[in-house]
Amino acid sequence: MTHSLDALLMFVEAATLGSFSAAARKLNKQQSTVSEAIANLEIDLGVTLFDRSTRRPTLSEHGYALLAHAQQVLDATDRLNRSAQRLAGGLEAQLSFALSDTYQSDVFEKNLEELERRYPDLELECMIAEDEDAVALVQSGRVQLALVAAQQSYPQDIGFETIASQSEIGLYVSKSHVLAQHASVSGDMLRATRELRLKTYRDDVRPDQRGIRWSSSSYLILLEMTELGFGWAALPRWIVQRFAAAELMELNAPGWPRRIQVHAIWSRQRGLGQAGNWLRDIFLAHAPSA
């Protein structure tokens, strides 16, 4: 059964304002129009919405029961109209976003609230991906935007810019590991013990690069392996400080820790929608000069 949205609106307004005449004035309609629309709605629903035996019509028991449902229909219609207007204006229905664990900043968390306020009907998906995996996700269209540790080069179809936030990567071992006994460690000492290495799905290691290694595509899994004493790992400092500061020790090694620049990347072929452009601009708002 289909009900007129105008009739539902008149019903809700009359119930809220307490009279048909007040609803008519607010909606800029004749009182007879409001009365007729509500009467027809009662016929369609098969129930009496207002008790008209008193001087002013009052909600009946059935009217009280159906008022909330009528309001929900109107609210849903309003959301539908707003979503259609945003889509017509270039707002994407869904924004998929890939985030590297090398990146840690209050910017992303703080602006999620603003993103939700600006685009309340946007479906947001946030994934974790590193390096080549993140680039591949953008190229395939699986995600529209990604933040990654800066790469030396990108495919021609990938657009990128440097964001303001940087990350620091250090070398860590568990406090019970053999390397934890040394005030400093050399490259030879590192090569002689197991490395816990980040390895993306698309990362190919040449045979001459192989050593004593375990690997994972996730920094958090590498963190757990390091805590268990399986080897040493290059880990984002913020992850260690947040999740394992008491269990791990940072090694003093030549060239470490390292500062890592972070890039925002997107597909030049597909571009970004309204929300994606807004989010990218937030990250680039205070980008450092080249």
Q: What is the pTM of this model?
A: 0.64
Q: Alpha-carbon distance 277 to 161, whole Å?
A: 13
Mean pLDDT of the chain: 86
Question: Residue written as tokens 């590991």?
Answer: 177
Give the tens place of pLDDT for each residue, 35-78. 999 999 988 889 999 988 878 888 999 989 999 999 888 878 76
- Taking Cα atoms as reference points, which of 221, 254, 251 lies closest to residue 239? 221
| Mean pLDDT lowest among 109-123, 141-155, 157-171, 201-215 | 201-215
Give the tens place of pLDDT for each residue, 189-221. 999 999 999 988 876 554 445 557 899 989 999
Please tell me the predicted confidence (pLDDT) of residue 288.
Answer: 44
Q: Alpha-carbon distance 152 to 209, whole Å?
A: 19
Please tell me the predicted confidence (pLDDT) of residue 287.
Answer: 46
Please tell me the predicted confidence (pLDDT) of residue 84.
Answer: 67
Give the tens place of pLDDT for each residue, 17-46. 888 999 899 888 899 999 999 999 988 889
Residue 97 phi/psi, 5-degree rounding, is -135, 130
| Mean pLDDT lowest among 103-107, 122-126, 146-150 | 103-107
Sketch out the chain's domains with CATH numbers: 5-88 (1.10.10.10), 94-165+261-284 (3.40.190.10), 167-258 (3.40.190.290)
Residue 90 has pLDDT above 80, yes or no: no
Please tell me the predicted confidence (pLDDT) of residue 208.
Answer: 47
Helix or strand or coil: residue 238?
helix
Q: Alpha-carbon distance 101 to 271, whole Å?
A: 24
Contact 236, 147 (CB under 8 A): no
Contact 68, 15 (CB under 8 A): no
Residue 170 has pLDDT above 90, yes or no: yes
CA gyration radius, the chain: 30
Give the tens place of pLDDT for each residue, 223-263. 999 999 999 999 999 999 999 999 999 999 999 999 989 99
Q: How confident is the model at residue 290 (pLDDT cuts 50, 70, 90)?
A: very low
Residue 264 has pLDDT above 80, yes or no: yes
Q: How confident is the model at residue 83 (pLDDT cuts 50, 70, 90)?
A: low
Residue type, 114: E
